[in-house]
Amino acid sequence: MATERSLGALLRSLQSPSDLHNAFNLLPTATSLLSVLSNPLNITLLASQLLVSPAIWDRHPVDLHACRRILSVFNTAAMAILQSEASEDPRIPYGRPRKLDREQWVKAVVSGADGKSPRWRHLLLIGGILLGFEGQDRQGLPWSVRKKLESALVTATQFSLEELDLQDETDGRCITMVLNYSFQLLSDQERSRIDYDRLLPVLIRAAYLSPEGLEGGYFLGTVDTDIVQTAGKRFAWPPQSPTFQKVTGISSSPLVSGLGPLSRLIAHAIENVREPALVTQTVDQIADFVRTLMVQWRQNKLSEVDKAEEAEFLDPESLENTIPSLWNCSGIVCAPYLSMQALHILRNLYFISSRIGPNSSSQHTFVALAAVDILTQYPDLTENFLTSIKPHELGHIPEHPVERCLDLFFLNTSEHFTPVLSPKCAEDLLIQAALPYLPAGGNNHLLEIFEAAHSVVLAVCAIANNADVAAKHLPFYIDNLFAVFPTNLSARQFRLAFKTVLQVTTPPSPIANRQPLLPSILLEVLYDRALHASDTALPPSAQGTTGPDMGKTIPLSEQAVLTLALIDSLSFLRVEELDEWLPLAANLINVISAPEMRKACVERFWDALSNGEMDVQRAHYCVTWWSTKGGRELVLFGGENAQVEDQAQGAFMSGAVGGAAPESKL
């Protein structure tokens, strides 16, 4: 009797308009009663009233937090049924009220989804039960009952999509939320029954455009009103500000907090629509969204602070607490046109993804590379796309961090397209976009773009059809390397860049056939620079991270680094060129006055000849040169003193390595 009285009081409260907070306070009682009532008619009545209660639903607009609370009632009640059955003591079979079995209970609850309530609210009931029994791999229902629940959920979804209220759109958001929670529980057969042509637009509007989604991206611009300048001339975004509370609310909304699985649901819907125009429309909507997002960010004071300057110009509390919340909230099968749209979307999101790392998301990487792969099949469209995203002023470094971020996206993306671009496009767009950043080494704000610019130039020069472009720009590129080294370029980076240049200009590279003298010209420039370079040890900042073949921890001078760069390049030279450059490399080694630096160069020279860097033909020539053509004497003792040193140290077998050579190499 006590249960019936509690039920009666609860039903009267649900039927009476009251404050929403008071109505939500009734829901724990409703959850408890649903799990303990033994009369199926009472269960059906309570379930029905939860879907029509004026205290909950007679408010406009109804938000998804209210919908999620109702779904939680049925979800929690189902879990309580499972827990109560698991905890019952089998030794006390009498004195306990008779309970309904699971199938009877499910049938009684589902009967509450009647004609008194709109179809879309039925999803809250059915989805809640399905999640309660089957979510997190609980497997709480007989297979036949689960199949019926899945079928009922899809049927309710279909009817709801047909009865959408285009004025309110609460129904569409509710459909999106419930399917996002329960879609993984549906079988492939039931998923195939969904009308994705109707569902896809609903998902997009709910996720990206609705007030309970990402609000079309406009929330990002409103943040600017609460950005204040502190006493230390830093920008701060206080956690008490209305806009931070707004962003926090967006992040915790049912749709945005589940944006990961929702994106997979949207992808599934795109894959299964019957009308191709809907895919194009969807991509256009997402492209508009991210374009708006970037424009809103551009209007925000925070966008004026470069990522490398954040510690200097942003308030520590904001940098640690409020601003990360902003990034978390914001970050969240194609024809060529769709591929271009996808890349435009990624470009407009790059101010976010570049901060968290574009490779941190496998989905992000897959979409980008898939779009690139498709677009490379259409060279003309590829060039049109690159023209549309090129830097606004080629040849200049923009002052605003957002514009530099877009330049970084252009450089990183265009590098993938170098094999299909015409030489003119590669020169006019890619080389020109990279040129202003090439001398930017040493500037922490531009370090990432600096490296991307170097990669683009080398990628362009590595293409066979770009031999004339390479011949035109590589001398300037090498001059630039010398100009920024060692002041703004580390020893490691210089050696790697020069070695790459030699690699792309020597056989088997097709460029070598059209410009056979280019490697010799570049080496002569390097050799002449090394002869006149400083022999003073470089500061630690200019040494760079050293690998096992890059001088290890020995401080190196500019002269030693240039010598090592020449040695690094030997493995790419033809045999007839080795005949000229092996002695010249040995001569440079002996020009170095510091014993430790010279020793490091000797070890690297021997390593280049003996560690497998060279092919059989080159290696055979190097052994011959070392043992019978005076190479050993030239490297270890210098040409003039070789005979004197031999006499001083005693007789050696022809080609033997003296004491100064690395002992473990022979």
Q: Which two tokens stand for residue 302?
A: 């925070």
**Residue 544 has what pLDDT?**
63
Look-up of token digits 């029509």: 52
**Which of 296, 316, 333 is the last residue in one of the domains?**
333
Q: Residue 590 contacts by C-beta under 8 Å, 6 or more apart in sequence? A: 598, 634, 635, 638, 639
Using DSSP, state whether 490 is helix, strand or coil: coil
Residue 93's CB: how many other CB atoms inside 10 A? 8
For residues 293 and 288, give the distance between their C-alpha atoms in angstroms, rounded to a whole number: 9
Contact 488, 443 (CB under 8 A): yes
Using DSSP, state whether 482 is helix, strand or coil: helix
Report the number of distinct structural domains present in the chain: 3
**Which of 194, 211, 229 is the last residue in one of the domains?**
194
Contact 542, 488 (CB under 8 A): no
* Stretch (H or E) spanning 228: strand 228-229
**Averaged pLDDT, 490-519:** 83
Q: Residue 364 contacts by C-beta under 8 Å, 6 or more apart in sequence? A: 346, 353, 358
**Averaged pLDDT, 459-473:** 86
H-only helix segments in 462-574? 467-484, 491-505, 511-514, 518-531, 540-543, 558-569
> Is 617 or 666 the better-scoring residue by pLDDT?
617
Instruction: Give Cα 263 distance to the centre of its chain.
Output: 15
Structural domain including 15 reads 1-85+99-194
- Each residue of 134-187: pLDDT tens digit? 988 888 899 999 999 999 999 999 999 999 987 788 999 999 999 999 999 999
Contact 235, 315 (CB under 8 A): yes
**Secondary structure E strands in 230-364:** 235-236
Contact 402, 298 (CB under 8 A): yes
**Averaged pLDDT, 466-477:** 85
* pLDDT of 511 higher than 70: yes
For residues 403 and 245, give the distance between their C-alpha atoms in angstroms, rounded to a whole number: 29
- Each residue of 545-581: pLDDT tens digit? 444 444 446 889 999 999 999 999 999 988 888 889 9
**Residue 149 has what pLDDT?**
95
Rg (CA), the chain: 35
Q: Which two tokens stand for residue 493?
A: 């980076």
Sign of CA pseudo-dihedral 227, 229, 235, 241: negative
Q: Residue count of the chain, please give it.
A: 666
Look-up of token digits 């199949």: 147
Q: Residue 375 contacts by C-beta under 8 Å, 6 or more apart in sequence? A: 336, 339, 340, 343, 381, 382, 385, 417
For residues 12 and 104, give the distance between their C-alpha atoms in angstroms, rounded to a whole number: 26
Q: Is the peptide bond before 61 cis (omega within 30 degrees of 0)?
A: yes
289, with CB counted inside 10 A (0-12, 13-18, 19+), is buried
**Residue 488 has what pLDDT?**
76
Q: Which two tokens stand for residue 400?
A: 């605003």
**Averaged pLDDT, 433-450:** 82
Residues 282 and 237 in one domain: yes
Q: Residue 471 contacts by C-beta under 8 Å, 6 or more apart in sequence? A: 511, 514, 515, 518
Residues 130 and 8 in one domain: yes
Q: Which two tokens stand for residue 116?
A: 């008194």
pLDDT band at 48 (very low <50, low <70, confident <90, very high): very high
Ranges 282-296, 304-318, 332-346, 474-488, most confident: 282-296
Residues 179 and 307 in one domain: no
Percent of the chain residues past pLDDT 70, beyond the cut: 89
* pLDDT of 232 higher than 80: no
Whether 377 is in a domain gets the answer no
**Residue 252 has what pLDDT?**
87
* pLDDT of 96 higher than 80: no
**Residue 1 has what pLDDT?**
54
Whether 27 is in a domain gets the answer yes
Whether 398 is in a domain gets the answer no
Whether 453 is in a domain gets the answer no
- In SS3 terms, 238-274 reads as CCCCHHHHHHHHHHCCCCCCCHHHHHHHHHHHHHHCC
Whether 536 is in a domain gets the answer yes
Residues 214 and 156 in one domain: no
**Residue 7 has what pLDDT?**
85
Residues 166 and 260 in one domain: no
Residues 158 and 49 in one domain: yes
For residues 129 and 112, give the distance between their C-alpha atoms in angstroms, rounded to a whole number: 12
**Residue 441 has what pLDDT?**
66
- In SS3 terms, 84-129 reads as HHHHCCCCCCCCCCCCCCHHHHHHHHHCCCCCCCCHHHHHHHHHHH
**Residue 642 has what pLDDT?**
41
**Averaged pLDDT, 216-235:** 85
> Is 422 or 467 the better-scoring residue by pLDDT?
422
Whether 586 is in a domain gets the answer yes
> Is 316 or 528 the better-scoring residue by pLDDT?
528
For residues 226 and 447, give the distance between their C-alpha atoms in angstroms, rounded to a whole number: 31
Contact 19, 54 (CB under 8 A): no
Q: Please report the DSSP string for 582-611 in residue order.
A: HHHHHHHHHH---HHHHHHHHHHHHHHHHS
Q: Which of the residue ranges 192-206, 349-363, 382-396 would you say has the lowest mean pLDDT?
A: 349-363
- Each residue of 268-281: pLDDT tens digit? 999 899 998 998 89
* pTM reported for the whole predicted model: 0.69
Strand partners, 648: none
Distances (CA, A) of 588 to 378, 526, 537: 49, 11, 16
Whether 341 is in a domain gets the answer no
Q: Which of the residue ranges 212-226, 243-257, 310-324, 640-654 would you say has the lowest mean pLDDT?
A: 640-654
Look-up of token digits 């609705």: 210
Q: Which two tokens stand for residue 519?
A: 């490697």
**Which of 306, 333, 360 is the last residue in one of the domains?**
333
* Stretch (H or E) spanning 190: helix 188-191
**Residue 76 has what pLDDT?**
95
First vs last Cα of the chain: how many Å apart?
A: 98
Percent of the chain residues past pLDDT 90, beyond the cut: 35
* pLDDT of 358 higher than 80: no
Residues 246 and 164 in one domain: no
Using DSSP, state whether 402 is helix, strand or coil: helix
Residues 111 and 167 in one domain: yes
Q: Looking at residue 236, what DSSP letter applies?
A: E
**Averaged pLDDT, 523-529:** 91
b/e string for 325-359 if b means 16 or more Cβ within 10 A? bbeebbebebebebbbbbbbbbbbbbbbbbbeebe
**Averaged pLDDT, 226-236:** 83
For residues 666 and 92, give the distance between their C-alpha atoms in angstroms, rounded to a whole number: 87
**Residue 521 has what pLDDT?**
86
For residues 203 and 200, give the distance between their C-alpha atoms in angstroms, rounded to a whole number: 5
- Each residue of 360-391: pLDDT tens digit? 677 788 888 888 998 998 898 899 999 999 99
Q: Residue 13 contacts by C-beta under 8 Å, 6 or more apart in sequence? A: 23, 26, 55
**Residue 426 has what pLDDT?**
94
**Averaged pLDDT, 526-545:** 82
For residues 415 and 608, give the distance between their C-alpha atoms in angstroms, rounded to a whole number: 30
**Quick one: the chain helix, strand, coil %, rounded to 5?**
70, 0, 30
- Each residue of 636-645: pLDDT tens digit? 887 554 443 4
**Residue 10 has what pLDDT?**
86
On average, the pLDDT of the chain sits at: 84
Q: Looking at residue 445, what DSSP letter applies?
A: G
Residues 166 and 204 in one domain: no
Whether 9 is in a domain gets the answer yes
* pLDDT of 95 higher than 70: no
Residues 37 and 153 in one domain: yes
Contact 183, 265 (CB under 8 A): yes
**Residue 145 has what pLDDT?**
93
Residues 4 and 118 in one domain: yes
H-only helix segments in 26-63? 27-36, 40-52, 54-57
Q: Which of the residue ranges 111-115, 445-449, 466-470, 659-663 would you say has the lowest mean pLDDT?
A: 659-663
Strand partners, 229: 235
* pLDDT of 447 higher than 90: no
**Residue 38 has what pLDDT?**
87
> Is 613 or 488 the better-scoring residue by pLDDT?
613
Residues 184 and 231 in one domain: no
173, with CB counted inside 10 A (0-12, 13-18, 19+), is buried
**Averaged pLDDT, 607-631:** 87
* pLDDT of 526 higher than 60: yes
